[in-house]
Amino acid sequence: MFEHLINGFAVALMPYNLMIALAGCLVGTLIGVLPGLGPTATLAMLIPLVFSMPPATALILLTSVYYGSMYGGSTTSILVNIPGESASVITTIDGHKMAMQGRAGPALAIAAIGSFIAGTFAVAMLTLVGKPIATYSLYFGPAEFFSLMLFGLCTVASLTGGNVMKSIVSTCFGLMIATVGIDLVSGAARFTFGNPFLQDGVDFVVIAIGMFALTEVVVTAREVRSGVRAEIVEPKGLFVKWSEFVYSLPSIGRGTVFGFLVGMLPGAGATLSTFIAYNLEKRLCKNPERLGTGDIRGVACPEAANNAASGASLVPLLTLGLPGGGATAVMLGALMMLDITPGPLMFEKHGAMLWALIASMYVGNALLLVLNWPLVNIFARVMRVPAKYLMPIVLVISTIGVWSLSYSAVDLVLTGAAGLLGFYMRINKYPVEPLILGLILGGKMEQAYRQALIISNGSNSIFVEKPISLVLLGLALLFLFLPMILKKSQQFNAARETAQAS
């Protein structure tokens, strides 16, 4: 394994890849700092760009943007009291209080250190458990994979948004969009309404850009007109005292472990992990009454959790092909477009590339620490770039992204329609992530379903006869009813609301 890892480092440290990782971390931090522009929209906009790159480089770019945004989100939480991402909402509680008390420096420092430790831990775990999980999933047949994907969709549906029924509607609609186009097995044109442009199906990038980028532009633009200018607290020093570091070390450790465990679960994602970690921290640490009053542990714990979780969400993505949320779903789509199917055979077929990715994540975490710590003031100022100048430019670049996919006017119209629908969904609390996830998994899911039925001679009972599949289906059902069981937990509800708002 170590020789694989060393080979991976050789690829990741090539100047070109190093540059890409640096650029990705920068872009990620920037979008993390900018409220409104999330990682999912940015990744969708980047996809047309990565086509021209070798797969390893493309993956390095996408992942570095993804975890870079987790770093950046905390900066504005602490300095401005506006979380850049939903995953750093919790950080505002203690982080901004610290900044108001003139301790912005230690808060930023511990956020960076905590993120670094957690990020590195997550990569180390990915290094260790990735291959065994992938090997285990070789036992999976079509029936098991169908149930696994159903389980993934159910967890996402149950954990994002306030209303499970609305999430199911969203998921199902995504799956339905995925069936548009020519059926690969029989050649039948389905739901194309005679339009030749629809025969290739609906590209998920088209929908993702419409639903994330376009709606984000309009939503932010609407806030701009009624918004107030944020006050930025200037941090004085950028160092944290050794005693404070030792004081928050256990919190970082707990945040990392919880974050990683929660993050592995599809659908839970980074946001939920911060809520759970903070909540558990309150019960487990000494002097819990200090949390919420500007305690450094209140920054360390959720920051460690969200970085561990974003690393952990790559485990099911790379080993099982199961994305956990909007951002990883877009990454899965990108991988499939590059003709790489994540899943059990990933380590066999694309091992070199995967190890390069893992190595680059070690490098990226170090880069982020080096980038973010001294430059934090500059990043905080980026927030001052008024959204009124930024949003129209985002709009133009997303349009180019859609256009460059296949130079088709139909795609642009579909993007517009997706944008309108996404806007309606957002306002009326239909979560958008499940739709994108359904759209991306739809093809694979149908394939698995049909293969399973062919094996069983058309009998649906195959899904309950195979033990692994049965367990997964049971878990899927359990997750669908989880919100009803946990209805009373305010923490859980708050977390879900936040996860949806992102």
Partner 1 sequence: MDILKQFVTRTRIEGVVILSVALAYLWEAHNVPEFYQIPGVPGPTTFPYLLGLVFAACGAWLLISPKDLWRMWSKPAEAVAAPAPAGPGLGSRIASHWHLIAMWAVVLAYLWFMPDIGFPVATFLLLFTFFYLLGETRWHIVLALSLTVTVVVYVSFKMGLNVRLPLGVLEFLVK
Stretch in the footprint of partner 1 (CB under 8 A) among 1-9, 242-250, 334-342, 382-390:
382-390
The stretches of 313-407 forming alpha helices (DSSP H) are: 314-320, 326-337, 346-349, 351-382, 387-406
Pick the piece of the chain touching partner 1 (CB under 8 A) from 37-45, 87-95, 441-449, 487-495: 441-449
Return the residue of 3, 15, 194, 225 that touches partner 1, per CB under 8 A.
225
User: How many residues interact with partner 1 (rule CB under 8 A)?
Assistant: 57
Contact call for residue 404 and partner 1 (CB under 8 A):
yes
Rounded distance between C-alpha atoms, residue 81 and residue 114, angstroms: 19
Shortest distance, CB of residue 185 to partner 1, whole angstroms?
7
Q: How far is the CB of 46 from partner 1 (least distance, A)?
A: 12
For the record, the structure tokens of 450 come out as: 């049909």
- In the list 400, 471, 494, 501, the residue contacting partner 1 (rule: CB under 8 A) is 400
| 416 scored as a contact of partner 1 (CB under 8 A) | yes
Q: Please tell me whether residue 168 binds partner 1 under the rule CB under 8 A.
A: yes
Q: 322 vs 15, 37, 97, 314, 315, CA distance in Å?
A: 31, 24, 38, 9, 9
Which residue in the set 191, 288, 292, 349 belongs to the binding site for partner 1 (CB under 8 A)?
A: 191
Binding region for partner 1 (CB under 8 A) out of 134-142, 285-293, 347-355, 391-399: 391-399
Cβ–Cβ < 8 Å for 267, 158:
yes
Residue 279 binds partner 1, judged by CB under 8 A = no
Residue closer to partner 1 (CB basis): 121 or 449: 449
Spatial distance between the Cα atoms of 2 and 249, rounded to a whole number of angstroms: 28
**Residue that the structure tokens 């770093």 belong to:** 71
Q: Which of 231, 283, 389, 467 binds partner 1 (CB under 8 A)?
A: 389
Q: How many CB atoms lie within 10 A of CB 428?
A: 9
> CA–CA separation, 158 vs 419, rounded Å?
24
User: At CA 385, angle to CA 49 and CA 214, rounded to 5?
Assistant: 45
Quick one: which segment of 61-69, 121-129, 181-189, 320-328 binds partner 1 (CB under 8 A)? 181-189
Residue 458 sits in the site that holds partner 1 (CB under 8 A): yes
165 is a site residue for partner 1 (CB under 8 A): yes
**Min separation Cβ 322 and partner 1, Å:** 19
- Does the footprint of partner 1 cover residue 477 (CB under 8 A)? no
221 binds partner 1 (CB under 8 A): yes
**Which of the ranges 61-69, 284-292, 294-302, 454-462 carries the binding residues for partner 1, by CB under 8 A?**
454-462
287 contributes a contact to partner 1 by CB under 8 A: no
Establish if 175 lies at the interface with partner 1 (CB under 8 A): yes
Does the protein bind partner 1 through residue 484 (CB under 8 A)?
Answer: no
Minimum distance between the CB of residue 448 and partner 1, rounded to whole angstroms?
A: 10
**98-102 CB contacts, 8 Å cutoff, 24+ apart:** 98/294, 98/295, 98/296, 98/299, 99/233, 99/235, 100/233, 100/294, 101/294, 102/236
Strand partners, 116: none
Task: Choose the stretch contacting partner 1; rule: CB under 8 A; options: 72-80, 175-183, 308-316, 354-362.
Answer: 175-183
391 belongs to the binding site for partner 1 (CB under 8 A): yes
Segment near partner 1 (CB under 8 A), from 4-12, 71-79, 130-138, 447-455?
447-455
> How far, in Å, CA of 476 to CA of 464, rounded?
13
Distances (CA, A) of 241 to 91, 289, 296: 20, 22, 11
CA distance 153 to 156: 5
188 touches partner 1 (CB under 8 A):
yes
Give the span between the Cα atoms of 422 and 428, in whole angstroms.
Answer: 10
**Which residue, chain included where needed, has tokens 């980047």?**
46
**Nearer CB in complex with partner 1: 4/466:** 466
Picking from 307, 360, 264, 411, the residue whose alpha carbon sits closest to that of residue 55 is: 360
- Asked if 419 interacts with partner 1 (CB under 8 A), we say yes
Answer for the pair 60, 356: CB distance below 8 angstroms, yes or no.
Answer: yes
**Beta strand pairing call for 181-182 and 189-190:** antiparallel
How many CA atoms lie less than 13 Å away from 307 in the CB half-sphere?
Answer: 42
Q: Does 461 bind partner 1 (CB under 8 A)?
A: no
Query: Helix/strand/coil (H, E, C) string of 190-226?
Result: ECCCCCHHHCCCCCHHHHHHHHHHHHHHHHHHHHHHH
> Is residue 179 within the footprint of partner 1 (CB under 8 A)?
yes
Residue 82 within binding range of partner 1, rule CB under 8 A: no
Q: Does 1 bind partner 1 (CB under 8 A)?
A: no
Residue of 228, 281, 223 whose CA lies nearest to 252 = 281
The SS3 assignment for 183 reads coil
What 3-state class would DSSP assign to 386?
Answer: coil
- Least distance in angstroms from the C-beta of 449 to partner 1: 6
Q: Does 423 bind partner 1 (CB under 8 A)?
A: yes
In this complex, which beta carbon is closest to partner 1, that of residue 165 or of residue 471? 165
Residue 261 or 395: which CB sits closer to partner 1?
395
Per the CB < 8 A criterion, the answer to whether 97 and 56 are in contact is no
Q: What whole-number distance in Å separates Cα of residue 99 and Cα of residue 108?
A: 9
**Which span sits near partner 1 by CB under 8 A: 282-290, 374-382, 389-397, 469-477?**
389-397
Rounded to whole angstroms, the Cα distance separating 79 from 299 reads: 12
Site residues, partner 1 (CB under 8 A):
48-49, 52, 165, 168-169, 172-173, 175-176, 179, 183, 185-191, 214, 217-218, 221-222, 224-225, 387-389, 391-393, 395-397, 399-400, 403-404, 407, 409, 412-413, 415-416, 419-420, 423, 428, 445-446, 449-450, 453-454, 457-458
